[in-house]
Every structure is written in C-alpha cells, then in structure tokens.
Amino acid sequence: MTDMTDALLGRIDGKRHIYPFIVFYEDTDAGGIVYHAQYLAFAERARTAMLNLLGFTNRDVAERHKVAIAVRHCTVDFRRAARLEDRLHVDSKVIRLGGASLGFEQKIMRDDEELVTIEIFLACMSLETHRAQRLPDELRNVFCGYLNVSED
C-alpha cells in the first residue's frame, strides 16, 4: 500500500500522506497572506483525504459505527507565512494510536520549507452518548499500519 495515489486525495508515501493544494484568494487576508485559522482547515482536508484514500469516509464511519472523530487537543507552530497562489502540501503522519484516540503530526510545506507544524490529537466518541468510545477495529487496523513514531 505504499503507492496509493488519487489526484484529489494526494498520495501515501511510505507511512506518510502527502496532500498537495494551492492557496486560494479565500484563504488569505487583504495582504495576500494565509489567515492563521486556514492552516487548521488545510490540515483537516488532508486528514479527510488520507481517510478516503485508505478506503473510508467520515460519513460511512459515522453511519456504520455510530461514532465521530473529534479534536481533543491541538498545537500549532507558525514558522513562515504562506501566500496567495503558493503551491503547498500537507505532510501527515500518525504519531499516536490509543484505545479511543489518534494523533497526527502535520507539516504544511512549500517545497522543502516547513511553514507550519500541527500536532493534533483526536478522540473517537459515540454519537449516541457523546462519550469516548474505542476506535472501530477496521480503522485501528489500518492506522496501526501507518503508525510512525521514530521517523523525522
């Protein structure tokens, strides 16, 4: 599964997911600089694309397992600004897999230049009780294959 690619969803490269995109006008402020909250949106799109590329959709997971994956904790380190029409990519890797949780490190890059690093920890929760619930086995099994704690 190391060469999975889809033009809209990006590609799996080893244990990483690479999601390319272009900065649109709507992503920027009046000066053409990416608005800080947009980086979280870029990261969310990349995680969704990765999930889709691995054969799942958020809707399907919710309907079949009656769970949602919600943000529990997030840190963002802004290093450099992105600008209108920059060609960027989100480099995502799974860094933690717990009973009811999943952690990602996501770097928003311009070529080899790191612009923003996001560490985000997600919790699986029941749609019925709104309490933490174990990740469905099929998701756990797939993400376990992408768990990456030793690579830079």
Residues with catalytic function: 29
Burial of 69 (0-12, 13-18, 19+ CB in 10 A): buried
Sequence-ordered strand ranges (E) for 111-150: 113-126
Q: Look up residue 86 and give its amino acid.
A: D
Residue for token pair 């272009």: 22
R_g of the chain computed on alpha carbons: 16
Sequence-ordered strand ranges (E) for 31-112: 67-78, 87-97, 101-110
